[in-house]
Amino acid sequence: MMYNPLAPVSDTAVIYHEVFNERGFSRLTRSWERYRVALLKFRELALIDSNYDPANPPEINSSGRVSVYHPVQATIEELSIVHDPAYIQFVIEMDEKGEGMFDRNDTPAWRGIYRRAAMAVGATLLGADLIATDRVKHVFNPAGGLHHAQYDRASGFCLFNDIVMAVRRWQKQYGFERIAILDVDGHHGDGTQNLLYHEPILTVSLHMYDGRFFPRTGTLEERGSGKGEGYCLNLPFPRFTTDAEYLKGFDLALEAVERYRPQAIILQYGADGHYTDRMSGLKLSTRAYEYVAEQTHALAHRACNGRLLVVGGGGYEPEVVERCWAILLAQLAGQKTVSAAAYTALHDPLTDMPQPNPDSIAQSSQMLSLAKDVLDSMNLR
Ligand SMILES: [Zn+2]
Ligand SMILES: [Zn+2]
């Protein structure tokens, strides 16, 4: 191929498949369109090629500031690296039946769900490959981040755990040993934690916790075991936590990742902690998400040559999700690629910010001081 000095050089990629825009895993039908509206937003901001057509996608479109890659679905063999083969078979059978529930009450079966779930994993695996082979530094798979999926069962809208799939891909195919997972979804990343609990793979989760809130896990006492002891950090925030307290916790999370000296970072960027999202009781704004994106991006460059795989996770208000995701891509690709006015318009109006709750702040400070002790006791060597 001829060298073209005018071709844009992109170190950031987003992965998109038209199946993401079809039916989703939850019954929250309004949330299903978040992929479609986000892609339109990326086009409008010229983050991706403004002519990108998801109905007729090339394998790679690198005409925009951010490249767009088209994934293929993960195979049964690939899924078996993380999941019980009998469970994978069960998902295929439920897909054929086209009805019933995967878990108690959250995740229904329907015709096509297997392909949709395997595509979400395929997209994350493509991202892991692109990063490990140095084709790009940062990848965003909006359809990934299915952090509740367990070894042999589905949970909370998650069938297959693409985050742990990426960890296994990096370990087995590229020899990575130190991988850090940072999970800012409003819910605890329980599936990811369980699957990696006995290994020295760092898992850090920030989430709402009150003992009853789904999935009811993610306390400071859960710190990993055996070879994994001291490689698990949970930051369980009370209901009504606002940006200031949350970001103090996020700084502790960053410190854990930095001390761990990762070879690559996975960020689960679930936007359901936003104050308008009713799926969690956290009251975060787009400014918290901006801080998460900006600081994790900077840390990836300091710690591991920029290797950062971001997966979408939760987020059930499409109008909020598209703004959080655009902020993420603008941060990864270099904020100057979006005009200052367009970038400011991605943020929540300052007149509409949630008010800090004094009880919640008191509980947070107590939790954060205990979390600091946990962090100090972590080995991370
Ligand atoms: Zn969530
Ligand atoms: Zn960068």
Residue 10 has pLDDT above 90, yes or no: no
Q: How confident is the model at residue 84 (pLDDT cuts 50, 70, 90)?
A: very high
Which ligand approaches the C-alpha of residue 308 most closely?
2
What is the tens place of the pLDDT at every residue in 51-66?
Answer: 999 999 999 999 999 9
Model pLDDT, residue 28: 87
Ligand 2 center to 215 CA (angstroms): 33
Contact predicate 54/71, CB 8 Å: no
Please tell me the distance from the alpha carbon of residue 345 to that of residue 325, in angstroms, as a whole number: 13
Model pLDDT, residue 336: 72
Domains of the chain are 12-377 (3.40.800.20)
Ligand 1 center to 361 CA (angstroms): 22
Model pLDDT, residue 225: 97
Which ligand approaches the C-alpha of residue 313 most closely?
1
Ligand 1 center to 1 CA (angstroms): 44
Residue 3 has pLDDT above 50, yes or no: no
Taking all residues of the chain, what is their mean pLDDT, rounded to a whole number? 95
What is the tens place of the pLDDT at every residue in 272-283?
Answer: 999 999 999 999
What is the tens place of the pLDDT at every residue in 251-268?
Answer: 999 999 999 999 999 999
What is the tens place of the pLDDT at every residue in 167-199?
Answer: 999 999 999 999 999 999 999 999 999 999 999
What is the tens place of the pLDDT at every residue in 344-355?
Answer: 999 999 998 999
Model pLDDT, residue 9: 60
Model pLDDT, residue 362: 98
Ligand 1 center to 185 CA (angstroms): 5
Mean pLDDT for 197-205 is 98
Residues annotated catalytic, as ranges: 148
State how beta strands 264-268 and 308-311 pair: parallel
Ligand 2 center to 170 CA (angstroms): 20
Mean pLDDT for 322-334 is 96
Residue 2 has pLDDT above 60, yes or no: no
Please tell me the distance from the alpha carbon of residue 191 to that of residue 155, in angstroms, as a whole number: 8
Which ligand approaches the C-alpha of residue 301 most closely?
2
Ramachandran category for residue 83: left, alpha or beta (phi over 0 → left; psi -120 to 50 → alpha): beta
Model pLDDT, residue 7: 45
Residue 328 has pLDDT above 80, yes or no: yes
Contact predicate 146/120, CB 8 Å: yes
Please tell me the distance from the alpha carbon of residue 88 to that of residue 52, in angstroms, as a whole number: 34
Please tell me the distance from the alpha carbon of residue 58 to that of residue 53, in angstroms, as a whole number: 9
Please tell me the distance from the alpha carbon of residue 264 to that of residue 166, in angstroms, as a whole number: 11
Ligand 2 center to 306 CA (angstroms): 6
State how beta strands 67-69 and 60-61 pair: antiparallel
Residue 6 has pLDDT above 60, yes or no: no
| DSSP at 349 | P
What is the tens place of the pLDDT at every residue in 88-138?
Answer: 999 999 999 999 999 888 889 999 999 999 999 999 999 999 999 999 999
Neighbours of ion ligand 1 (CB under 5 A): 185-187, 270, 272, 314
What is the tens place of the pLDDT at every residue in 11-52?
Answer: 999 999 999 999 888 888 899 999 999 999 999 999 999 999
Model pLDDT, residue 19: 95
Model pLDDT, residue 103: 86
Q: How confident is the model at residue 381 (pLDDT cuts 50, 70, 90)?
A: confident
Residue 233 has pLDDT above 70, yes or no: yes
Which ligand approaches the C-alpha of residue 65 most closely?
2
